[in-house]
Structure 1
Amino acid sequence: MDALDRKILTELQRDGRLTVTELAARVRLSVSPCHRRVRDLERSGAIRGYRAVVDPAALGLHFEALVFVTLRWEDRDTVIEFEKAVAEVAQVIQAQRLFGEPDYLLRVATADLAAFQRLYDEQLAILPGVHRLTSTLVMKHVVDDRPLPQ
């Protein structure tokens, strides 16, 4: 990956709806080579996809929590079962496996505190292998969905 590829990635992270013509102009490249580079970045996996960034409030999701999960055991089967089950919980909008303790960090979005409590009691607490859940509420997003540094 060279400096031109990095410029293309920077521009697409800012606005994934750019046409190839607009993108080429921004990175000072002709359209055909720009298009070829974008295709190569997609094929290599550097560009994993395109999406719309949606305001959670527009969907009625006004409440967000971070849930730290500690598993009872960390054997292969428990980890696989837990990760498969957590991937099925629609309100979990991000899940990360961590080194050390806790084992996982889940970012959860719900309509309100009551909806979060139901989710916590009825789905999160019964995930396979869960030993302990600890949650904290998100007060405000200070840095959110920032493009990756180049």
Structure 2
Amino acid sequence: MDKLDVSLLKLLQEDGRMTVSELSKRLSLSRPSISERLLRLQEKGIILGFNARVSPAAIGRNVQLIIQISELKVSPQDFEQRLTQDEDILECHRVTGIVSHVLKAAVTGMDDLSKLVERLMPYGNVNTSVILSSPIINRIILPKE
């Protein structure tokens, strides 16, 4: 990756809807050159995709939480497969240490939080923390120099 690729990544992370024409103007490159770079970055797996970021609170999921699962009672693969079916789970990370999985979830309120915990309890020990604020989210990530 050269400096233009890094600049391209930065611009797209700031505004994923920026058009090829706008990127072309900002980086002083031709539109075909921008398109080629985008395709190459996607083929290399550097750009994973383009999507909209949705505010959980704006769609009624007012309670966001971090859940730690320890002492897993099923295989990690079975647990992870189960989680793919649960729409309250936004993220799942298998981690090292005493805790085997860290999840991020968004629910509508305390009743749904209780139901989510009950659904997870058969799989291991569940520890929940309600997110009070998120001072850093979706930070722009670029290669280290």
**Superposed pair shares fold, TM > 0.5:** yes
Deviations, residues 26-66 of structure 1 (Å, cap 9, x unaligned): 22212111111111111221111100111112210100111
Deviation at 1:145, TM superposition (A): 1.5
Matched, 1:101 2:98: yes
Contact 2:72 / 2:100 at 8 angstroms: preserved in 1?
no
Which ranges of 4 or more aligned residues in structure 1 deviate by more than 6 Å?
none
Question: Following superposition of structure 1 onto structure 2, how do residues 4-19 of structure 1 map, counting pairs within 5 Å?
Answer: 4-19=4-19
Is the 8 Å Cα contact of residues 6 and 142 (structure 2) preserved in structure 1? no
Partner SS state of residue 99, structure 2: coil
Question: What is the count of residue pairs matched by the alignment?
Answer: 143
Gap change, CA 1:32 and 1:17, over 3 Å in 2: same
Q: Give the SS at the match of 1:103.
A: strand
Q: Tell me what 2:67 maps to.
A: 67
**Sequence identity, in percent?**
26
**Which of 129, 133, 141 is matched with 1:140 structurally?**
133
Q: Quick one: which amino acid aligns to residue 99 of structure 1?
A: T
Deviation of 1:12 after TM superposition, in Å, equals 0.7
Residues 1:37 and 2:37 are matched in the alignment: yes
- Contact in 1 for aligned 2:9/2:142 (Cα 8 Å): no
Distance of aligned partners of 1:72 and 1:40 in 2 relative to their CA distance in 1, 3 Å threshold: closer
SS at match of 2:75: helix
Residues 22 and 131 of structure 1: CA distance in aligned 2, closer, same or farther (over 3 Å): same
CA distance in 2, matches of 1:55, 1:100: 31
CA RMSD of aligned residues (A): 1.4
Unaligned runs of 5+ in 2: none
